[in-house]
Chain A
Amino acid sequence: MPQQTPPADATPADATPAGRPEIEIRDLHKSFGDNHVLRGIDLDVAPGEVVCVIGPSGSGKSTLLRCVNLLEEPSRGTVHVGGTELTDPDVDIDAVRRRIGMVFQQFNLFPHVDVTGNLTLPQRRVLGRDKARAAEVARENLDRVGLADKAGAFPAQLSGGQQQRVAIARALSMGPEVMLFDEPTSALDPELVGEVLSVMRLLAGEGMTMMVVTHEMSFAREVADRVVFMDGGVIVEQGPAAQVITRPAHERTRNFLDRILDPAAVEPPVGEDPGPTRQPEG
């Protein structure tokens, strides 16, 4: 029997049985043909927790995130979100996805409608909200990401940072219990990263459950309750941000952090250090 899905406007407290993790991943495997990308992942995310997933490219961290809303179908294992098993073939995946917000590296705003349209179209088509209510929710969420003045703009007229903030507002307009971020700042010019991280920090402060795949170590250190380091399709180590980032237990974690925290090893330093000291304004 599939579990009763809570109404879309339910608060996270109603949706998750007490004591149960918001996200529960068990023995998750994913292969693309012969390429075994995820090799047995077990991970829980508690309600209100912010988990940052770090690791070298190709480590499977994005695939893991995409399995959490079934954009990728796991080859084996189970994923529960808010008590509903996504991997159950009988579950209404569209209903579950309404409760899971996803933010993409490439923003993926709908270019054929304006900013308000991007926020209202899903509410109206998916949640069946009427036009006035959808517009009201859109205004609230644009305000939340500081873009109330861009309501009538088209995505192509916005900077990357603004587009990503609109994408966050679009996901929030659906009233999700969980937000997934797939390298949300990787496609941005360095000077635009801060504004997106500020919005994410705000969300974390409001108690949103968040799973963030990122290369922003300063953000992870500051905001994450827990940092998960992945390599080769497995979780190598996890723990409080300060511990994993500053005192990693594993050689592989140390190597990775050395490479990413010391940009000189990858690219010649140009004036300022673009790595860990990259701090958003305000």
Chain B
Amino acid sequence: MTSRLTRRQRRRVWQAIQYAVFVAVLVLVVVLADWDRLANQFAQPDLAARLFPDIITIALRNTVVYTFSGFLFGLVLGLVVAMMRLSSVTPYRWVAGVYIELFRGLPALLIFIFVGVAVPLAFPGAEIPGGIYGKVALGLGLVAAAYMAETIRAGIQAVPKGQMEAARSLGFSHARAMASVIIPQAFRIVIPPLTNELVLLFKDSSLVLFLGVTLEQRELTKFGRDLASETANSTPILVAGLCYLLVTVPLSFVVRRLEARADKAT
């Protein structure tokens, strides 16, 4: 006969096992990793100091600019695609559906290469307005729009049907009701997921790397990689990473706050 444990005893044993695994892994990493070499390669304070202020004034600034231009373009395009998805005109729904599947199904990198190579080939002489900023806005925006379109569509459909009926019964046309009544409410619903999309875009802006940029146009990843190869040391990569976290962690915090507030409001 094995001795039967009480429920409390069983819980304690189970917790002890989990803590033991945690400590074991921690000890293994601490003991086995070559901390001196890591520190030498990734954390040289004097090298890190030399990155400033350029990493902020050029690289982080460009990352933010790229992100916002892509976000704004994506938001406008996403709204259009969402409206097409909800349109009563069947071909519009098809086009929107294909667009969404296509751009959600392709790696963002592929789309960047496409924007950088295929568009100039297809339209010789035609320049994407805004130079590199226009290209980035296009590349990031095309990807973002596909995700945002689905988010916005869900937001519009989450607005109770009675709102459209009330607006129509007051004499609003369908389009005016959308613009004055439905979309303002839908945007409140989709602010948390759209902010989340902003975080994703912030990270995806690193793909600018593949468009070929001048020194002044470098964003965080390109900047970090360039300086890492210049100095034959990876400290710039680590610092660039910290710069990303400087933005993404507070933004994620904001998203959680917005979501909590939205939950409370409903």
Interface residues of A, Cβ cutoff 8 Å to B = 69, 71, 94-95, 97-98, 100-102, 104, 106, 108-112, 121-122, 125-127, 156, 167, 170-171, 174
Q: Is residue B180 contacting chain A, with contact meaning CB distance below 8 A?
A: yes
Q: Is A125 a contact of B172 with CB atoms below 8 Å?
A: yes
Q: Is B165 a contact of A97 with CB atoms below 8 Å?
A: no
Counting chain B residues whose Cβ lies within 8 A of the other chain, the interface size class is 10 to 19
Q: A171 CA to B169 CA in the complex, in Å? A: 9
Chain A residues positioned under 8 Å from B163 (CB to CB): 108, 110
Q: Is B173 a contact of A94 with CB atoms below 8 Å?
A: yes
Pick the contact of A71: B160, B165, B181 (CB < 8 A): B165
Q: Is A171 a contact of B185 with CB atoms below 8 Å?
A: no
Q: A33 CA to B171 CA in the complex, in Å? A: 27
Q: Is A171 a contact of B170 with CB atoms below 8 Å?
A: yes
**Given A97-B171, A110-B166, A112-B184, 12 more pairs with CB closer than 8 A:** A94-B168, A97-B168, A102-B166, A102-B170, A106-B162, A108-B160, A108-B162, A108-B166, A110-B167, A126-B170, A126-B172, A126-B176
Pick the contact of A94: B160, B172, B185, B265 (CB < 8 A): B172
User: In B133-179, which residues have CB < 8 Å from any A CB?
Assistant: 160, 162-163, 165-173, 176
Q: Is B171 a contact of A126 with CB atoms below 8 Å?
A: yes
Q: Is residue B256 contacting chain A, with contact meaning CB distance below 8 A?
A: no
Q: Is residue B188 contacting chain A, with contact meaning CB distance below 8 A?
A: yes
Nearest 9 CB-CB pairs, A to B? A108-B166, A98-B171, A102-B169, A108-B162, A122-B170, A126-B171, A97-B171, A94-B171, A112-B184
Q: Is A174 a contact of B185 with CB atoms below 8 Å?
A: no
Pick the contact of B169: A95, A100, A109 (CB < 8 A): A100
Q: A100 CA to B166 CA in the complex, in Å? A: 12
Chain A residues positioned under 8 Å from B165 (CB to CB): 71, 104, 108
Chain B residues positioned under 8 Å from A97 (CB to CB): 168-171
Interface string of B181-223 (1 = CB under 8 A from A): 1001100100000000000000000000000000000000000
Chain A residues positioned under 8 Å from B160 (CB to CB): 106, 108
Q: Is A110 a contact of B169 with CB atoms below 8 Å?
A: no
Q: A111 CA to B170 CA in the complex, in Å? A: 16
Q: Is A71 a contact of B168 with CB atoms below 8 Å?
A: yes
Pick the contact of B176: A104, A125, A170 (CB < 8 A): A125
Q: Is B162 a contact of A174 with CB atoms below 8 Å?
A: no
Min CB distance B176 to A, Å, is: 6
Q: Name A109's closest neighbour in chain B (CB-CB).
A: B166
Q: A109 CA to B165 CA in the complex, in Å? A: 11
Known: A94-B173, A95-B171, A97-B171. A125 touches B180 (CB 8 A): yes
Q: Is A110 a contact of B181 with CB atoms below 8 Å?
A: yes
Pick the contact of B162: A101, A104, A125, A156 (CB < 8 A): A104
Q: Jot down 22 A-B pairs with beta carbons below 8 A, ordered by A.
A: A69-B169, A94-B171, A97-B169, A100-B169, A102-B169, A104-B165, A108-B160, A108-B162, A110-B166, A110-B185, A111-B185, A112-B184, A121-B181, A122-B170, A125-B180, A126-B172, A127-B171, A156-B265, A171-B169, A171-B170, A174-B170, A174-B171
Q: A88 CA to B170 CA in the complex, in Å? A: 19
Listed residue (A100, A101, A122, A127) with the most chain B CB atoms within 10 angstroms of its CB = A122
Chain A residues positioned under 8 Å from B181 (CB to CB): 110, 121
